């Protein structure tokens, strides 16, 4: 549509009523230098004009904060902020909580030690987290158990030696992704996993997990697809 889009400095999109998806092109870290490639650092306040936005993908950029106008997008259902490594979640958390219709929140690569209490006001169905500062234990699961409709939980590259025993506090869970953590065994939480009646898929790739542990999951969870190396 725009053969020389790289030269465009301003785009007048006219009527904005029908726009529902806003994406900054995702940059593949395998094909570009993350230290030298230009990334977006600021989002225009005019983003607030796109009142019908449902999905916003800002991943792989260098946003620290978003304009206040962004948080007036009250129809927003999915917000992808992953790999904005300097994003100030501490400062922005109360504003994100204003997006009451948000169902999917993706924060991989954004560092924090404890899941922000303000975000627990949301009714999330999909949550993606990934930073080794985050300790995933029973206290963490108890904290996010307020997401009673949570269907997808991604905990990649987190600080987790064992699966929390209270995973059944997330009864709607269908997909559990725990790739690239330090998890070494799952035997102790079999009973908890069995109670997740909606569970369909577990991702285990990149774990220092013995084959017998993977086979155990296959045996005791016959209706669940287990994906590993």
Residue 122 forms part of a structural domain: yes
* DSSP, res 110: -
Domain that holds residue 108: 16-227
**Widest CA span in the chain:** 59
Closest alpha carbon to 144 in 112, 160, 161, 122: 122
Residue 84 forms part of a structural domain: yes
- Other CB atoms within 10 A of residue 68 CB: 11
Residue 6 forms part of a structural domain: no
Residue 65 forms part of a structural domain: yes
- Measure the CA–CA gap between 75 and 56, rounded to whole angstroms: 11
Prediction pTM value: 0.85
Along the 229 residues of the chain, how does pLDDT read in single tens digits? 333 334 433 334 344 456 677 776 554 444 333 344 568 899 999 999 999 999 999 999 999 999 999 999 999 999 999 999 999 999 999 999 999 999 999 999 998 989 999 999 999 999 999 988 899 999 999 999 999 999 999 999 898 888 899 999 999 999 999 998 878 888 888 889 999 999 999 999 888 888 888 888 889 999 999 998 7
Cβ atoms of 163 and 186 within 8 Å: the answer is yes
User: How many structural domains are present in the chain?
Assistant: 1
Residue 11 forms part of a structural domain: no
- Other CB atoms within 10 A of residue 5 CB: 9
Residue 146 maps to which CATH number? 3.80.10.10
Residue 128 forms part of a structural domain: yes
Q: What spatial distance separates the first Cα and last Cα of the chain, rounded to whole Å?
A: 40
Residue 5 forms part of a structural domain: no
Residue 173 forms part of a structural domain: yes
- Measure the CA–CA gap between 192 and 114, rounded to whole angstroms: 23
């Amino acid at each position: 549509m725009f053969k020389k889009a790289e030269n465009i400095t301003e785009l007048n999109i006219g009527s904005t009523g029908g726009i529902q998806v806003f994406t900054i092109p995702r940059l593949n870290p395998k094909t570009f230098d993350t230290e030298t490639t230009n990334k977006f650092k600021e989002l225009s306040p005019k983003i607030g004009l796109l009142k019908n936005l449902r999905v916003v993908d800002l991943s792989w950029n260098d946003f620290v904060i978003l304009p206040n106008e962004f948080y007036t997008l009250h129809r927003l259902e999915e917000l992808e902020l992953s790999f904005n490594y300097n994003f100030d979640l501490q400062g922005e958390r109360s504003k994100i909580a204003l997006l009451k219709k948000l169902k999917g929140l993706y924060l991989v690569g954004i560092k924090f030690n404890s899941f922000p209490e303000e975000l627990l006001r949301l009714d999330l169905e999909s949550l993606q987290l990934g930073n080794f500062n985050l300790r995933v234990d029973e206290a963490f699961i108890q904290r996010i158990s307020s997401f009673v409709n949570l269907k997808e939980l991604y905990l990649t590259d987190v600080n987790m030696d064992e699966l929390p025993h209270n995973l059944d506090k997330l009864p709607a869970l269908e997909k559990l992704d725990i790739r690239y953590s330090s998890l070494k065994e799952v035997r102790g939480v079999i009973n908890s996993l069995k109670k997740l009646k909606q569970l369909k898929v577990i991702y285990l790739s990149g774990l220092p997990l013995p084959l017998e542990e993977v086979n155990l999951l296959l045996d005791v969870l016959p209706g669940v697809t287990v994906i590993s190396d």
